[in-house]
Amino acid sequence: MHRQSIWLLLLVASLAQAEVRIESVTLYRDAGGEPGAEVASFELTDLKQHFLIRLSELKLGQHQFQVRFLAKETTQGDNVEVAKVDLEALIANQISTHVELPREWPLGRYQLEVRMDGKAIGRHDYIISPPWSEQSVGAWTLYGDDGAENATAEVLESFPSTQRTLHFEAQTNGYIARNIELRWRLGTAEGEEIVVIPQAIDSAAEVFNTVTAKVSLPQDWPPGSYVISLSEGERELGQKSFQVVDVSPREGRE
């Protein structure tokens, strides 16, 4: 065989290997130990989770594959390896595998990584979370303002009346659904509505379970009791009562 022919074969083999990548990943809920219904994400109670990973065509050679599962950003830690599965051969360029915990999964972002002959050829992120229809706001935070309508890192128990822009943060107990419209409502404790603020969560939103809003007045806020709430349609996810405290100077005050 001529050197040129050998070189061409090596080049073709190298290109074929370079083309190997993840084409798609499908998630399945467990059904008696076997893949069941296809899902877009897993719930915390899906202890056993199934994956079908489709790779681009392999034309030449025998390769070793490994799938690593990583807890990328979760309530129990970040960048923690959960499991890894070794495979000697593939059937029809597909990897069918699963991962399992003996207890509920921590809420968060996860990632699977496919490695071929020790090198990563692709990654896929997925979510483990309570379903959106069952979520609620579990934590509210009030923030200070820098005077230019930007939230500071200062966490407040109540707002001073001289802070004209009020900053709110609502944290749900799960991954917020995409392509929905949330609604913030601010009113007095007596039920008088002050403002309603729509907030769209589109398919490209970077939020996980935290959303923010701000409300401004051109003058100091009247001291008193207020309520902020967050809803989707007719479903209220939660509400928070708070105080605006009078800190304005008064005549005769030393």
pLDDT of residue 56: 87
Sequence spans of domains, the chain: 20-129, 133-245
pLDDT of residue 20: 86
Q: Where are the alpha helices (DSSP H) in the chain?
A: 3-18
Average pLDDT over residues 153-163: 98
Closest CA to 49 of 64, 33, 73, 61: 33
pLDDT higher than 70, residue 254: no
For the chain, what percent of residues have pLDDT higher than 70?
Answer: 89
- At 236, the amino acid letter reads E
pLDDT higher than 60, residue 7: no
pLDDT of residue 18: 53
- Contact status, residue 99 vs residue 129, Cβ threshold 8 Å: no
Place of tokens 């603020």: 197
Close Cβ partners of 81 (under 8 Å, ≥ 6 residues apart): 68, 69, 70, 71
Q: What is the pLDDT of residues 241-252, one digit of tens each?
A: 999 999 977 654
Radius of gyration, CA atoms only, the chain: 26
Average pLDDT over residues 219-240: 98
Q: What is the pLDDT of residues 44-101, one digit of tens each?
A: 999 999 999 999 876 556 788 999 999 999 999 999 999 999 987 677 789 999 999 9
pLDDT of residue 61: 64
Cα-Cα end-to-end distance for the chain = 101
Q: What is the pLDDT of residues 164-211, one digit of tens each?
A: 999 999 999 999 999 999 999 999 999 999 999 999 999 999 999 999
Close Cβ partners of 82 (under 8 Å, ≥ 6 residues apart): 69, 70, 71, 99, 101, 110
Whole-prediction pTM: 0.83
Domains 20-129 and 133-245 agree in fold? no
**Segments of 6-107 assigned E as strands:** 22-31, 34-39, 48-55, 65-74, 77-87, 94-100
pLDDT higher than 90, residue 13: no
Mention the CATH class of domain 133-245: mainly beta
Fold entry, domain 20-129? Immunoglobulin-like (2.60.40)
Is the alpha carbon torsion for 28, 131, 198, 170 positive or negative?
negative
Closest CA to 127 of 64, 44, 190: 44
